[in-house]
Each structure stands twice: as C-alpha cells, then as structure tokens.
Amino acid sequence: MGVNHDGSVQRALELVEAAAQCGADAIKLQVFRAKNLMHESTSFAAYQRQQCPESDPTAMLQRYELSIADLQRIVEAAQDRRLIPIATPFRRPMWR
C-alpha cells in the first residue's frame, strides 16, 4: 500500500479490502512524520515544482501522513481480513 492511500483513511481501507479480495497475504504501510523525514534544505525536482501546489517538499509529504489512530484502524481492518500488517517505519535522519 505504501502511500497509495494519498493520506485518506477511507482510501487505505478500500486498499485493504482490495488486497483481501485479490488473495494477498499482507499489506505494507509506511509510518513517518514528514518534518522528521525531510531535511530543511530539500527542494522540489523540476517536475514536482510544476505539479505540486505545496510550497515545499515537507508540506507535500505531510499529505500522506496518517495518525496513530488512523494506522490502528487500518491494521485492525487488515487483521479482520486475515492479512498480515507490515510497516516500514522511518526515523529522524542522522544529520539532525
């Protein structure tokens, strides 16, 4: 699933359902906080400047964050459908 939910819990739950219907064994989430993941010197690539309404990459990435409560709902939905929930956690970069 990654961030294909676009920051929407409803979309994430739909993806869980689709995975279950397709016979998947697991779903994988990404758990992060944009302000902890992105360095303040990060800038948009040329194609992003043309396509993103946000002012900077951190703001763009914040769109995809899910709260702990949202993640719990998604994990419970996966478990209810006998899917294994997997998460890729990101931590604060070393340079901070």
Instruction: Note whether residue 63 is domain-resident.
Output: yes
Would you say the pTM of this structure is higher than 0.85?
Answer: no
Instruction: Note whether residue 67 is domain-resident.
Output: yes
Instruction: Note whether residue 2 is domain-resident.
Output: no
Instruction: Note whether residue 3 is domain-resident.
Output: no
Instruction: Note whether residue 95 is domain-resident.
Output: no
Domain extent at residue 76:
9-89
Question: 5-14, 40-49, 57-66, 73-82: which range is least confident on average?
Answer: 40-49
Instruction: Note whether residue 60 is domain-resident.
Output: yes
Instruction: Give 33's contacts (C-beta < 8 A, 6+ positions apart).
Output: 65
Q: How many domains does one find in the chain?
A: 1
Residue 59 has pLDDT above 60, yes or no: yes
Give me the chain's average pLDDT, please: 89
C-alpha closest to that of 63 among 6, 4, 1: 6
Mean pLDDT over 46-68 rounds to 87
